[in-house]
Amino acid sequence: MPPPRARPSKRPVWIIVLIAFFCAILIGAYVYPSNKPYKSCYYFFSSDKCNGWPPPTPARVYTDEEIASRVVIKDILSSSAVQSKNPKIAFMFLTPGSLPLEKLWEKFFQGHEDRYTLYVHASREKTVHTSSLFIGRDIRSEKVVWGTISMVDAEKRLLANALQDPDNQHFVLLSDSCVPLHNFDYVYQFLLGTNISFIDCFEDPGPHGNGRYSEHMLPEVEKKDWRKGAQWFTVKRQHAVLILTDTLYYNKFKHHCKPGTEGKNCYADEHYLPTLFNMVDPKGIANWSVTHVDWSEGKWHPKAYRAVDVTFELLKNISSIDQSIHVTSNAHKQVQQRPCLWNGMKRPCYLFARKFYPESLDNLMNLFSNFTVF
Ligand SMILES: *[C@@H]1O[C@H](CO)[C@@H](O)[C@H](O)[C@H]1NC(C)=O
Ligand SMILES: *[C@@H]1O[C@H](CO)[C@@H](O)[C@H](O)[C@H]1NC(C)=O
Ligand SMILES: *[C@@H]1O[C@H](CO)[C@@H](O)[C@H](O)[C@H]1NC(C)=O
Ligand SMILES: *[C@@H]1O[C@H](CO)[C@@H](O)[C@H](O)[C@H]1NC(C)=O
């Protein structure tokens, strides 16, 4: 005879387990509601297929200024570019005074008069031009204090002046120590043959990157959005307009990213545009700058080339680099290396290079036609 009480004694356990299981599902569906509860919330079984998990963080209530800013930026980004019949590139020189390498630039521009415009912002001294191409191209300038927002203001002043010419479709920011690495046609095709802006942008977890972030920038700028990048950008027209439109994020940087606040040195020109574009149009920027600079010596300033350094080999070396390199400022000194992709194709990264001493002018002039054959 089987023991008569054996089966009934198992039933309540079985029922309790079943009831507990359904209760758990019901509680789950209640605590983490989803639009499609039956399809999506069996997260006991399939964790990654459940749309209701993790629960969405509640959206912030935006201020009037933020709503306005978001809608304007969205509208600028979705507007299609006005096609000019005669597209030009605006070359904008941000310099303390005269351009020591002006003769080299003259060589670069000569013969392409209908395809470029020049703008010079001399922030310290009145310029003396050695090339007729530059005469009359100075814009009204203001003093620039290194590392402060006045640097960004000067960039915006150049953009505003250059945007006045509707033919200008791409805008290149250059310094007095920059040189071209290719001929004009190459640069023109490179910049106008793609849809993106060449804004340097990377995440640096170290003290010279995320360490400069200030929580005073909340709620509009979160730490996860914070980026760093070299100042020397090129931007398409749409992005140039966007930069001039933005006051919301600009003001955050103006007040909370400057040298010597909260015991840290934040430089707006190294963080404002990378962070802004990382937030509003990350796919619209290349994440590297087309202006090469050599930080490999690990000093406070990048390598600057003297006359003796300027050889055919040096210029060939720089113009054949096809990987962009970013090094983090933490103890790991982590190297982030990525191929430079232009419309999805691997290409050499750089169109320009810095920093070249004025004394290197003669060597550069002699070499120019040799190294810019492409
Ligand atoms: C530029 O963007 C448009 C869409 O906005 C796209 O159709 C076009 O192919 C892009 N051109 C290049 C050169 O990538
Ligand atoms: C630049 O980086 C962002 C992510 O930070 C990425 O979404 C974007 O596709 C990158 N741009 C290009 C052209 O690869
Ligand atoms: C050029 O690159 C080669 C190979 O990387 C290197 O050995 C050489 O020192 C470089 N020359 C100059 C002048 O930078
Ligand atoms: C430029 O190239 C030509 C031909 O390859 C060569 O004869 C000349 O010496 C080069 N000039 C310089 C300054 O390297």
**Is any ligand 1 atom within 6 A of the Cβ of residue 341?**
no
Whether 98 is covered by a domain: the verdict is yes
- Residue with the smallest CA separation from ligand 1 atom 13 is 194
Whether 350 is covered by a domain: the verdict is yes
Nearest Cα residue to 242 out of 187, 287, 279:
279
**End-to-end Cα distance, the chain:** 99
Whether 55 is covered by a domain: the verdict is no
Asked if omega into 2 is within 30° of 0 (cis), the reply is no
Whether 188 is covered by a domain: the verdict is yes
The closest-lying atom of ligand 3 relative to the alpha carbon of residue 309 is 13
Total count of domains within the chain: 1
**Which of the two residues, 263 and 132, has the higher pLDDT score?**
132
The CA–CA distances, whole Å, from 303 to 139, 238, 294, 299, 360 equal 30, 33, 5, 8, 14
Whether 301 is covered by a domain: the verdict is yes
Q: How many A from CA of 195 to the centre of ligand 1?
A: 6
Q: How many A from CA of 343 to the centre of ligand 1?
A: 9
pLDDT bracket for residue 12 (50, 70, 90): low
User: Is residue 42 pLDDT above 50, yes or no?
Assistant: no
- Global confidence as pTM: 0.83
Instruction: Give the integer Cα–Cα distance in Å for 370 and 292.
Output: 19
Summarised one tens digit per residue, pLDDT across range 202-256 is 998 888 888 788 888 888 888 899 999 999 999 999 999 999 999 999 999 999 8
Instruction: Give the integer Cα–Cα distance in Å for 372 and 303.
Output: 22
By residue range, what is the domain housing residue 108? 87-371
Locate 323 and state its tokens.
């990987």
Whether 5 is covered by a domain: the verdict is no
Summarised one tens digit per residue, pLDDT across range 64-113 is 999 999 999 999 999 877 778 999 999 999 999 999 999 999 999 999 99
- Residue with the smallest CA separation from ligand 1 atom 5 is 80
Q: Which ligand is nearest to the CA of 336?
A: 2
Q: How many A from CA of 342 to the centre of ligand 3?
A: 25
- Residue with the smallest CA separation from ligand 4 atom 3 is 370
Summarised one tens digit per residue, pLDDT across range 148-202 is 999 999 999 999 999 999 999 999 999 999 999 999 999 999 999 999 999 999 9
Q: How confident is the model at residue 15, as a pLDDT? A: 60
Whether 45 is covered by a domain: the verdict is no
Whether 64 is covered by a domain: the verdict is no
Q: What are phi and psi of 313, to 5 degrees?
A: -60, -45
